[in-house]
């Protein structure tokens, strides 16, 4: 058994030896394969070298891979081809509001290169033998060139832009103010879409020179913007000042009558100028005071007057009565409005009636009445007759008749000399009421009344007996009405 097992174990080793003896007969076949592979590699290397040098030769006159000029791919282009391609593709895009766009092409403005040396420099900086590595590095593959353009063509193109068509843009408007419910509110501004031509022209010129391809008009600040918006400090200040003015309320009193001025009228006098300064129209304030004066001034008005003779007459003319000082009261009113005052007041008067009454009752019950026909005078004080008597008034024959009307006593003076072109007479009691015409004693006369005035009257004054003149002089006050009827 043991021998048999040994024989079994040895047999495979012998078979292996036999195989080893046979292998040398098969060896020539792999050597042929190696030769073929070697030949293939050599051919391939030759082809690669041929291709490499061929491409190298090509890139001697053409831009290498990844070459960009002004963001235009010029790979494989000659300098002349690159120059043409860049101009062909160049377009300046104008990005406008509401998603609108416009373009300015190179041909529109006669665009050309400021210098062509940059192309040569870029091409010369590229090693044609390094074309394989060009794809992996940016150095010497990218650059920008500057342009020049025809100014006249540029201006013409800008003029033709749709954004400058007046029918297609909206003017910007500042915030404004509206008077509503007794107060001012701010009305929002209108942004509009009008472009500032000078600004856009400069932006376009700069972009063209640098070869830039887009301008966002909004972010570049090319749109004309409202100077004052609803959020501007100046706008808010103006609104607050307007509301201060219209908060004023002025009640004017005229005896029992009253006139009220408030915001509903005042707001019509207010303006806001282009610098958002609030202006109060002073001429309109004056018109308001003028209207009050026409209604409540009584100087020269026709009055109904109950005479001492028992008749009621209508008499006008003269200088007696209420007269508003329009200039001064206008300024008072403007000041009250600007301070936002709420007040009740009388207007400032240049002249007041002697009586506190207004309108047709302003004569009151203290006055001097002169009946030019009856040649008689009456003096009442607080409704009581103080004195009366005959008088001599202006000479009708010489054209010196005493004027009718309601006047006021200007002043009173004792012991003075009255002078004229042909007279100089001393009087003890002088009470002027109409220029050089007044009440006075006339010691040179021995009689008064009747028809003396028709041929031997005064130069217009009212001559009175001394006792009558003295009584009136001692009891009368300045501004007392003098009625000549």
- What's the pLDDT at 133? 66
| Residue 166: how many other CB atoms lie within 10 Å | 7
Cα 153 from Cα 159, distance rounded (Å): 10
Alpha helices in 386-465 (DSSP H): 452-456
Burial (0-12, 13-18, 19+ Cβ within 10 Å), 92: buried
Q: Are strands 405-408 and 413-419 parallel, antiparallel or unpaired?
A: unpaired
Strands (E), 156-298: 176-180, 183-187, 214-216, 249-254, 257-261, 270-272, 278-280
- What's the pLDDT at 134? 61
Q: Model confidence over 431-471: pLDDT tens digits?
A: 999 999 999 999 999 999 999 999 999 999 999 999 999 99
- pTM over 0.75? The answer is no
Burial (0-12, 13-18, 19+ Cβ within 10 Å), 93: middle
Which residue out of 163, 440, 459, 484 is catalytically annotated? 440
399: alpha, beta or left? (left if phi > 0; alpha if psi -120 to 50): left
440 catalytically annotated: yes
Does residue 408 have a pLDDT over 90? Answer: yes
Residue 405: CB partners within 8 Å, gap ≥ 6? 300, 315, 316, 317, 318, 319, 320, 434, 484
- What's the pLDDT at 144? 84
46 catalytically annotated: no
* pLDDT greater at residue 306 or residue 357: 306
Which residue out of 62, 64, 267, 461 is catalytically annotated? 461
Confidence grade of residue 9 (pLDDT, cut at 50, 70, 90):
very low
Confidence grade of residue 137 (pLDDT, cut at 50, 70, 90):
low
Does residue 102 have a pLDDT over 90? Answer: yes
Confidence grade of residue 8 (pLDDT, cut at 50, 70, 90):
very low
């Amino acid at each position: 058994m043991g021998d048999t097992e040994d024989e079994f174990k040895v047999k495979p080793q012998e078979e292996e030896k036999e195989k080893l003896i046979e292998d040398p007969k098969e060896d020539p076949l792999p050597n042929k394969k190696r030769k073929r592979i070697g030949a293939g590699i050599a051919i391939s290397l030759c082809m690669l070298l041929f291709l490499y040098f061929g491409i190298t030769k090509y890139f001697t006159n053409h831009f290498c891979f990844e070459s960009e000029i002004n963001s235009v791919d010029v790979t494989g282009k000659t300098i002349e081809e690159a120059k043409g391609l860049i101009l062909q593709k160049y377009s300046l895009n104008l990005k406008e509001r509401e998603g609108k766009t416009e373009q300015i092409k190179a041909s529109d403005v006669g665009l050309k290169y400021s210098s062509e040396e940059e192309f040569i420099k870029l091409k010369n900086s590229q090693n044609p033998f390094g074309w394989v590595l060009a794809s992996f590095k940016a150095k010497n593959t990218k650059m920008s060139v500057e342009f020049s353009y025809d100014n006249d063509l540029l201006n013409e193109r800008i003029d033709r832009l749709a954004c400058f068509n007046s029918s297609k843009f909206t003017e910007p408007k500042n915030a404004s103010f509206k008077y509503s419910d007794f107060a001012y509110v701010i009305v929002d501004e209108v942004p509009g879409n009008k472009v500032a031509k000078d600004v856009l022209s400069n932006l376009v010129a700069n972009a063209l020179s640098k070869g830039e391809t887009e301008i966002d008009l909004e972010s570049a600040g090319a749109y004309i913007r409202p100077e004052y918006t609803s959020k501007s400090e100046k706008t808010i200040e103006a609104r607050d000042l307007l509301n201060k003015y219209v908060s004023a309320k002025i009640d004017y009193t005229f005896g029992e009558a009253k006139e009220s001025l408030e915001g509903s009228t005042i707001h019509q006098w207010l303006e806001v100028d282009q610098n958002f300064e609030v202006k109060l129209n002073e001429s309109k304030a004056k018109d308001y005071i003028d209207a009050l004066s026409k209604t409540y001034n009584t100087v020269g008005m026709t009055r109904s007057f109950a005479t001492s003779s028992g008749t009621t007459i209508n008499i006008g003319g003269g200088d007696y009565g209420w007269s508003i000082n329009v200039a001064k009261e206008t300024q008072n009113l403007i000041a009250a409005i600007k301070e936002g005052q709420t007040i009740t007041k009388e207007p400032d008067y240049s002249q007041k009636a002697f009586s506190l009454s207004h309108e047709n009752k302003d004569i009151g019950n203290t006055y001097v009445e002169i009946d030019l026909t009856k040649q008689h005078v009456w003096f009442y004080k607080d409704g009581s007759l103080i004195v009366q008597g005959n008088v001599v008034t202006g000479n009708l024959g010489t054209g010196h008749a005493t004027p009718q009307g309601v006047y006021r006593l200007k002043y009173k003076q004792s012991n003075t000399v009255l002078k004229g072109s042909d007279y100089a007479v001393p009087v003890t009691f002088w009470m002027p009421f109409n220029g050089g015409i007044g009440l006075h004693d006339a010691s040179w006369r021995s009689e008064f009344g009747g028809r003396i005035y028709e041929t031997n009257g005064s130069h217009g004054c009212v001559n009175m007996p001394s006792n009558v003149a003295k009584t009136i002089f001692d009891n009368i006050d300045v501004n007392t009405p003098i009625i000549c009827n």
